[in-house]
């Protein structure tokens, strides 16, 4: 029986492709003739080994990951990597120093966590609002830093980098949790990329870490063993029990991405969906207002306010109620910034975005 599905614009955990959910449902009781569920399967079994290998290989293929990079699966979320990154990399150079570019909530949290482990320098003058990327000409980069860190897409503020920062040879680390596999990326420019799965590539529970081999093996002595890249690399992410079911779901989503045309197809779809909404915002004569600088407006998370400043909240409440009546949910902005946020991750279809756009037009006509 066909289920009626709500359109989910949530920022994460987020929408999954329906075909993935159906396949997981079909295989839930009896995976591939094993007579058991992946939920019950030993992480050391040959069936699970196959799932791990296929998942890694799909990531390698879809992102064109060079051979000198390790691909690993961690628990602990993106936030776990806020600690793992400094614990593993900050000691690679004697000064225990790292550089952070702080463009929103997530890079700010990462920098704060890293301060526990070394000297952290924010490379640019502090931003008065998280609506832009600080001009690279204002950065002071320390060439003896162990790494430079940035968040490629700030999920809360809707600020996305459309260029890879030039770090003059210092190792570059990026949190791609909320735009991973949504666009093409040249992995060879990075020392390390990490991403939680629950936005573009699966459900919560697993975080992908892609790290250049020569950066593995220098963890601080007090690094928890489960966060030690060398330990996990040497054990193929099986030092301890991995998040098996989340890895399996990621496997299905990656297959879906591949069958949908790969990263390039996601790139073009995401461009199309987000342009549709931004064009409408731009044409609304200020009724809808996106505070983010145009060149760094995120394709993944589109934040906007509704109406004139003094009536914002009342109108936004009405907007959300109307959306919900039309079967659209999770459009409320992050509690720290308010307003509306439409997250348009890979699994959100063009049709889903069209339903939102049509509603925004209707709401504008009624309330302008
Ligand atoms: N980085 C970014 C860009 C995020 O959007 C999030 C979560 N929304 C995190 C890190 C933290 O991820 P987690 O909740 O999995 O720790």
Give how far the C-alpha of residue 144 lies from the chain's centroid of Cα atoms, to the nearest Å: 29
Question: Could you tell me if residue 262 is left (phi over 0), alpha (psi between -120 and 50 degrees) or otherwise beta?
Answer: left
Tell whether ligand 1 has an atom less than 6 A from the beta carbon of residue 202. no
- E strands along 197-317, which residues? 207-212, 288-289, 301-306
Helical (H) or strand (E) element with 73: strand 69-74
Tens-digit pLDDT profile for residues 321-365: 999 999 999 999 999 999 999 999 999 999 999 999 999 999 999
Distance between CA atoms of residues 344 and 357, nearest Å: 12
343: CA distance to ligand 1 center in Å?
Answer: 14
As a whole-number percent, the residues of the chain with pLDDT over 90 amount to 95
Contact 147, 98 (CB under 8 A): yes
Atom of ligand 1 minimally distant from the CA of 154: 3
Atom of ligand 1 minimally distant from the CA of 155: 5
Tens-digit pLDDT profile for residues 188-230: 999 999 999 999 999 999 999 999 999 999 999 999 999 999 9
- Is a pLDDT exceeding 90 seen at residue 145? yes
Tell whether ligand 1 has an atom less than 6 A from the beta carbon of residue 155. yes
- Is a pLDDT exceeding 60 seen at residue 1? no
Tell whether ligand 1 has an atom less than 6 A from the beta carbon of residue 270. no
Tens-digit pLDDT profile for residues 31-49: 999 999 999 999 999 999 9
What pLDDT is recorded for position 368?
Answer: 87
Contact 243, 51 (CB under 8 A): no
Q: Taking the alpha carbons of 302, 304, 306, 307 in that order, is the dihedral positive or negative?
A: negative
- Determine if the pTM surpasses 0.75: yes
177: CA distance to ligand 1 center in Å?
Answer: 6
Torsions phi, psi of 50, nearest 5? -65, -40
Distance spanning both ends of the chain, measured CA to CA? 42
Tell whether ligand 1 has an atom less than 6 A from the beta carbon of residue 107. no
Structure tokens at 249: 């779901």
195: CA distance to ligand 1 center in Å?
Answer: 8
- Is a pLDDT exceeding 90 seen at residue 310? no
Contact 144, 121 (CB under 8 A): no
> Omega of the bond prior to 13 within 30 degrees of 0, cis?
yes
Reported confidence tier of residue 312, pLDDT bands at 50, 70, 90: confident
The string of DSSP letters for 283-318 reads TTTTSEE--S-GGGB-SSEEEEEES-GGGHHHHHHH
198: CA distance to ligand 1 center in Å?
Answer: 9
Catalytic residues: 106, 175, 199
Atom of ligand 1 minimally distant from the CA of 151: 3
What pLDDT is recorded for position 308?
Answer: 80
150 by DSSP, 3-state: which? strand
Among protein residues, the one whose CA lies closest to atom 2 of ligand 1: 177
Tell whether ligand 1 has an atom less than 6 A from the beta carbon of residue 77. yes
Using alpha carbons only, what angle is made at residue 178 by residues 55 and 60, rounded to the nearest 5 degrees? 25
What b/e string do you get for 78-90 counting C-beta neighbours within 10 Å, with b at 16 or more?
A: bebbbbbbbbbbb
Q: Which residue in the block uniquely carries the two structure tokens 């220098």? A: 218
Tell whether ligand 1 has an atom less than 6 A from the beta carbon of residue 205. no
Tens-digit pLDDT profile for residues 92-142: 998 899 999 999 999 999 999 999 999 999 999 999 999 999 999 999 999
The string of DSSP letters for 82-123 reads HHHHHHHHGGGSTT-EEEE---SHHHHHHHHHHTTTSEEEE-
What pLDDT is recorded for position 87?
Answer: 98
12: CA distance to ligand 1 center in Å?
Answer: 8
Contact 152, 192 (CB under 8 A): no
Tell whether ligand 1 has an atom less than 6 A from the beta carbon of residue 17. no
The string of DSSP letters for 155-194 reads TTTTEE-SSPPP-TTS-EEEE-TTTTTSS---GGG-SEEE
User: What Cα–Cα distance (Å) separates residue 190 from each residue in 150, 198, 329?
Assistant: 11, 22, 36
**Averaged pLDDT for residues 50-54:** 98
Atom of ligand 1 minimally distant from the CA of 198: 15
Reported confidence tier of residue 2, pLDDT bands at 50, 70, 90: low
Probe residue for ligand 1, chosen from 152, 177, 208, 246 as the CB with the greatest number of ligand atoms within 8 Å = 177
Choose among 210, 123, 201: nearest CA to 175: 210
């Amino acid at each position: 029986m066909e289920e009626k599905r709500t359109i989910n614009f949530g920022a994460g955990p987020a929408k999954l492709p329906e075909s993935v959910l159906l396949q997981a449902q079909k295989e839930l009781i009896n995976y591939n003739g094993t007579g058991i569920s992946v939920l019950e399967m030993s992480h050391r079994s040959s069936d699970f080994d196959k799932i791990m290998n296929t998942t890694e290989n799909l990531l390698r293929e879809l992102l064109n990951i060079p051979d000198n990079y390790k691909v690993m699966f961690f628990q602990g979320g993106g936030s776990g990597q806020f600690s793992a990154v400094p614990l593993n990399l900050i000691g690679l150079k004697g000064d225990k120093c790292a550089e952070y570019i702080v463009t929103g909530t997530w890079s700010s949290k990462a920098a704060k966590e890293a301060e526990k482990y070394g000297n952290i320098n924010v490379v640019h003058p502090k931003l008065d609002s998280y609506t832009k990327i600080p001009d690279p000409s204002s950065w002071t980069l320390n060439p003896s830093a162990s790494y430079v860190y940035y968040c490629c897409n700030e999920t809360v503020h809707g600020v996305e980098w459309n260029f890879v920062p030039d770090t003059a040879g210092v190792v570059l680390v990026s949190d791609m949790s909320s735009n991973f596999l949504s666009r093409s990326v040249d992995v060879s420019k990075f020392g390390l990329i990490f991403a939680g799965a629950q936005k573009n590539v699966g459900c919560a529970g697993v975080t992908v870490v892609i790290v250049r081999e020569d950066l593995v093996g220098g963890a601080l002595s007090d690094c928890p063993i489960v966060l030690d890249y060398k330990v996990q690399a040497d054990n193929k992410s099986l030092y301890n029990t991995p998040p098996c079911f989340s890895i399996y779901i990621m496997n299905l989503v990656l297959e879906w991405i591949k069958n949908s045309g790969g990263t390039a197809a996601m790139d073009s779809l995401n461009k199309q969906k987000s342009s549709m909404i931004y064009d409408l915002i731009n044409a609304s004569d200020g009724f809808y207002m996106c505070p983010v600088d145009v060149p760094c407006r995120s394709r993944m998370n589109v934040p906007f306010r509704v109406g004139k400043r003094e009536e914002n909240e009342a109108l936004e409440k009405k907007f959300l109620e109307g959306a919900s009546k039309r079967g659209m949910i999770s459009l409320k902005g992050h509690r720290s910034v308010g307003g509306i946020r439409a997250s348009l991750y890979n699994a959100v279809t063009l049709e889903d975005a069209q339903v939102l756009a049509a509603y925004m037009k209707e709401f504008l006509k009624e309330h302008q």
